Structure 1
């Protein structure tokens, strides 16, 4: 069955989510995130797309994009192919890195635009990675708080600032207040449901159940093929991240991801 065409946003603005296939992590180190952002910057210039916000999580990415003559689909296709090629080359993998095509929702009112910006920036806070959204270096939040983040010139902030005040410094203050307000924003989510992350103690118990008679310290010493089969079963544990599994089992994230 052919894919249904995306409904065009009246404002040209879209909240976009890119997800790792089978929830796999798509970033393992700082260089991966830098590469993704640099690639996004290159293609946003070539496609004349404005990036209004972003947040890079371990296994998915939130982007807020405004298209002009060219569509966001052109940008996302080139971005996906380029980053997947880099990833497969660096980690010696093959196959699909991303889950299907990207998800998107139309952002057509000023009120919802402000809400989506906050929702994107609050992702790492809700995940328990930081206490305040500006502390997370892999989002555009610090730009809106009056600080600079890498890469320079990726963000187009004027449209969002204008929602709060024509004066930039006042807009920054009001955006910060808006972000810190008690909220329960309901926007497009990466996986369609809330996924509870296991605490390490809970994760160990779940892993031990999967291992059966095998002890956790023995996993890293198993022959390659046998170890990979064990890691495949471990990866299916709901609420267990690949990084967490690697830490508990004493193996590299690369081995867990590749299995």
Structure 2
């Protein structure tokens, strides 16, 4: 399968994930976590990023970052490269620590910024690593809510200003907002082509901004996506219906509605299946 496009421009907001090679652990102890956060602080400063949220899980991490200079890939190469080198030296190992490519989803800031700040820090709760987000030390939740001092590189002011003028009130309201999300629906219903989180209007705005024609960028033919298989062919390859549904969704070629109509299901059922498969992949 061809690689998804990297779309970068000034002011873009991304939900970024990077996973351990073969899903192996990438943070072995507290010092590894601290090395990563120091490296992230360096990247935020050097590449002029805004980091709105983060969460370090045992075998992967989540970032919510904004790039005023349109330089996500450069910053991520530095972040993953420096962290890998530092921890390889520390643990006397060689080779790849992280999977070859990070996943960067470009986000409609107006609609999903706040929702993603809580989605990111709720990962440990969804994974059963704590009943409350404050139980997990390695996320931005404690700093955002005032439980610990916020590092200078974490962009807390903009988020908190959306809740109240007074900082302590804003922190309390943000905390309540996050905890309300524990039982809320997932946010990925409007994920388009596996790289855009937003509706069709948002996708078109981004494509116009960066000069994408239709669904493709002017890139070498070898890097373009092959036509997706039909839903019937996907179904024939998978014995389990849920696996087939997620495989169809993962091609980026089929909407929830198209998948639902093919299988004779409600949209909500398709959404639950896909979210369940996503959580299995994360754990």
Q: Distance in 2 between matches of 1:11 and 1:164?
A: 22
How far residue 114 of structure 1 moved from its aligned partner, in angstroms, is 0.9
Q: What does 1:4-83 align with in structure 2 at a 5 Å threshold?
A: 4-8=4-8, 11-83=11-83
Contact 2:143 2:149 in 1 (8 A): yes
Closer, same or farther: CA 67–10 of 1 in aligned 2, 3 Å: closer
Residue aligning to 1:87: 87
Query: TM-score of the superposition, structure 2-length normalised?
Result: 0.63
Cα deviation digits, residues 141-166 of structure 1 (max 9, x gap): 0122122257x223111221122223
Q: Distance in 2 between matches of 1:11 and 1:37?
A: 23
CA RMSD, Structure 1 to Structure 2 (Å): 2.6
Q: Distance in 2 between matches of 1:130 and 1:51?
A: 24
Closer, same or farther: CA 110–164 of 1 in aligned 2, 3 Å: farther
Contact 2:16 2:105 in 1 (8 A): yes
Closer, same or farther: CA 9–113 of 1 in aligned 2, 3 Å: farther
How far residue 111 of structure 1 moved from its aligned partner, in angstroms, is 3.3
Residue aligning to 2:106: 106
Q: Distance in 1 between matches of 2:122 and 2:168?
A: 21
Residue aligning to 2:278: 193
Residue aligning to 2:237: none
Q: What does 1:100-249 align with in structure 2 at a 5 Å threshold?
A: 100-149=100-149, 152-181=151-180, 182-187=183-188, 193-195=278-280
SS in 2 for 1:138: coil
Q: Distance in 1 between matches of 2:63 and 2:108?
A: 15
Contact 1:54 1:61 in 2 (8 A): yes
Residue aligning to 2:240: none
Contact 1:118 1:179 in 2 (8 A): yes
How far residue 75 of structure 1 moved from its aligned partner, in angstroms, is 0.9
Q: Distance in 2 between matches of 1:185 and 1:111?
A: 14
Query: TM-score of the superposition, structure 1-length normalised?
Result: 0.68
Contact 1:18 1:102 in 2 (8 A): yes
